[in-house]
Every structure is written in structure tokens, then in C-alpha cells.
């Protein structure tokens, strides 16, 4: 769908779906474009609501969430896209915009919950950006925040690993603090959680390659095995490719585990045994 067609779309929920899909397919410039249009449409709707309210009239809204949500999600998705493009200062500007949405007139109880959620998202994403910028000094505070919000640990731990790889940090002491939470993700069945865990294993392997190739291979085997739970093709291919680059450093037992997983894939087995490896 071209830019002109997008400008003709005003359905807020559909625009959110379009933005999320563009983000999942890594079309980050497109995310920015749609998110800006989403914000414009949400702002126009808000002005209409306030105009009618001043005349003691009420505008009927055909939306699935409180209107304030569309302000927050437009800035959040744009900020995440800018983060992926390494435009960190611009990403921080977006975070500022959804960190405090309490200015919104007409918040009900559901709307206040949305405001509180985005305040938490802003705090997590601000840490992420600073870590990616190389500000290791916030890592202790970041880990403390994650332990208070365990539902954010896997995605944010991926960011920490990416930063460690980019900046050459050794962060084993931090990983040990959150390892029990990461392990629990491997037992979940939801596709999104499994996908996050596989990507975490891949990043962990990249981080550990310079330190201990055997540990990196263990992480890859774990990622390959878990990816088979939901037939996660992209994660499976990525982990297999990295394993093959490290095959000469693999132990006989690691190669056997790897081959057994591949045999399961070839025979279309649906139930893959959970491989317990110390990572």
C-alpha cells in the first residue's frame, strides 16, 4: 500500500495493526511514516471530541481502546523504529512524548491504566536506548527495574546482549541475576514468547562466542530445540547457520544433540523433548 493510500485511512485500530505489521517485518521507515499518520488521526479525533464537549455534545468513537492509547502507541512504535535505525536521540524524544500522557482531558479508569502502562514502557525503553548508546553505568539500575517487571526481562535482555556485543562488555554477573526468569520462557507455548526466547538464545550465543565457544554452541542447540516447538522457521535457520559456523568447535555430544534435533525435523515430529543445557 502506497503513501497516498495510507493517508486516506483514518481507522485508528487498523492503522495500529498496519504499524505493528510493518515493525514485525522490519520496515522501520514505513513504521515511522504510518505512526506519524496514526498520531495525526488520533489528534484530529481528540480535537473533535473536545470541540463537541464544549458544546455539551458527545462524539461516538468507533475504537477498541481508550483514545489516549492511540497517542501513546503512535509515539512508542515510532520510537522503537528509530531505535532499530540507531537514531537514538530521536527515539528518546518519542519516549518523552508517551512517558507522561496525564495531560489528556477526559481520562476514565481505563484510560488511566493506559497512561500508567505507557509510563512503565517509557522507563524500560529509555533504559534500552541508553544501553544501546553505550551507557553501561545504567545497567545496575536497569537490571533492578527488570527484576521488578519480570514480564519485560526477555525482550529487554536481548537489548542488553545486543549492547554488550556492540560495545565489547562482559555482563555475566548481570545475566546470572535474571537467568531463572529466562529459563521459564523456554517452557511457554505461546508463539511470541517462544520466538523471543529463541532470539535470546541466538544473541546469547553471539555474546559467548569470543568467551567460550562451547557455551555458545549450547545456547544455539537450546534455541534450535525450542524453535521446533512452534516450527519457528526463521529462528531455526538463524541458529542452525551460526551452529554450522562453530561446528569445528563443537564436542561430540553437542553434534549428536544437534543431529537428533534435525532428525526430528526431517521426520516431522511434533513433540520435541526439552533439552536441558546449562547456558
Give the per-residue pLDDT at 269: 44
Question: In this predicted structure, which of 124-133, 165-174, 263-272 has the lowest mean pLDDT?
Answer: 263-272
Q: What is the mean pLDDT of the segment spanning 14-23?
A: 95
Q: What is the mean pLDDT of the segment spanning 117-123?
A: 95
| Sequence-separated (6 or more) residues with CB below 8 Å from residue 77 | 19, 20, 23, 31, 35
Give the per-residue pLDDT at 2: 58
Give the per-residue pLDDT at 93: 97
Query: For 134-143, how does the pLDDT look when each residue is reduced to its tens digit (9 = 90+)?
Result: 999 999 999 9
Q: Which of 43, 42, 1, 8 is nearest to 22 (CA)?
A: 1
Q: What is the mean pLDDT of the segment spanning 112-125?
A: 95
**Count of other CB atoms within 10 angstroms of residue 127:** 22
* Residue in the block written with cell 553505550: 134
Give the per-residue pLDDT at 58: 77
Please say whether the dihedral angle defined by the alpha carbons of residues 144, 150, 154 and 159, taken in this order, is positive or negative: negative
pLDDT top residue among 221 and 275: 221
DSSP conformational letter for 206: H
Rounded-to-integer distance, Cα 244 and Cα 230, Å: 22
Q: What is the mean pLDDT of the segment spanning 210-222?
A: 91
Report the largest interatomic distance among the alpha carbons of the chain, rounded to a whole angstrom: 77
pTM, entire model: 0.81
Give the per-residue pLDDT at 189: 63
The torsion of the CA quartet 247, 249, 252, 255, rounded to 10 degrees, works out to -20
DSSP string, 46-112: HHHHHHHHHTT-------SS-HHHHHHHHHHHHHHHHHHTT-HHHHHHHHHHHH--TT-TT--HHHH
Q: How does the average pLDDT of the chain come out, rounded?
A: 86
Give the per-residue pLDDT at 273: 35
Amino acid at each position: 500500500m502506497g503513501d497516498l493510500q495510507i493517508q486516506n485511512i483514518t481507522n485508528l485500530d487498523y492503522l495500529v495493526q498496519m504499524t505493528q505489521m510493518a515493525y514485525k517485518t522490519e520496515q522501520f521507515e514505513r513504521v515511522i511514516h504510518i505512526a506519524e499518520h496514526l498520531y495525526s488521526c488520533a489528534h484530529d479525533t481528540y480535537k473533535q471530541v473536545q470541540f463537541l464537549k464544549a458544546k455539551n455534545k458527545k462524539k461516538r468513537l468507533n475504537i477498541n481502546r481508550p483514545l489516549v492509547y492511540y497517542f501513546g502507541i503512535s509515539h512508542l512504535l515510532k520510537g522503537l523504529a528509530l531505535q532499530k535505525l540507531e537514531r537514538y536521540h530521536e527515539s528518546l524524544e518519542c519516549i518523552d512524548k508517551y512517558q507522561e500522557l496525564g495531560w489528556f482531558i477526559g481520562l476514565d479508569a481505563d484510560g488511566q491504566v493506559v497512561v500508567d502502562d505507557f509510563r512503565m514502557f517509557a522507563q524500560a525503553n529509555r533504559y534500552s536506548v541508553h544501553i544501546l548508546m553505550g551507557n553501561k553505568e545504567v545497567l545496575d539500575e536497569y537490571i533492578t527495574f527488570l527484576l521488578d517487571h519480570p514480564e519485560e526481562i526477555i525482550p529487554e535482555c536481548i537489548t542488553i546482549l545486543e549492547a554488550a556485543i556492540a560495545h565489547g562488555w562482559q555482563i555475566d554477573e548481570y545475566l546470572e541475576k535474571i537467568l531463572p526468569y529466562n529459563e521459564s520462557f523456554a517452557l511457554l507455548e505461546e508463539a511470541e514468547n517462544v520466538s523471543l526466547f529463541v532470539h535470546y538464545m541466538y544473541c546469547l550465543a553471539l555474546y559467548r562466542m569470543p568467551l567460550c565457544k562451547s557455551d555458545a554452541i549450547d545456547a544455539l542447540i537450546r534455541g534450535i530445540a525450542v524453535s521446533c516447538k512452534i516450527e519457528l522457521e526463521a529462528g531455526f535457520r538463524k541458529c542452525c547457520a551460526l551452529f554450522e559456523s562453530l561446528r569445528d568447535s563443537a564436542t561430540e555430544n553437542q553434534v549428536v544433540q544437534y543431529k537428533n534435533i534435525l532428525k526430528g525435523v526431517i521426520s516431522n515430529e511434533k513433540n520435541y523433548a526439552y533439552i536441558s543445557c546449562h547456558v
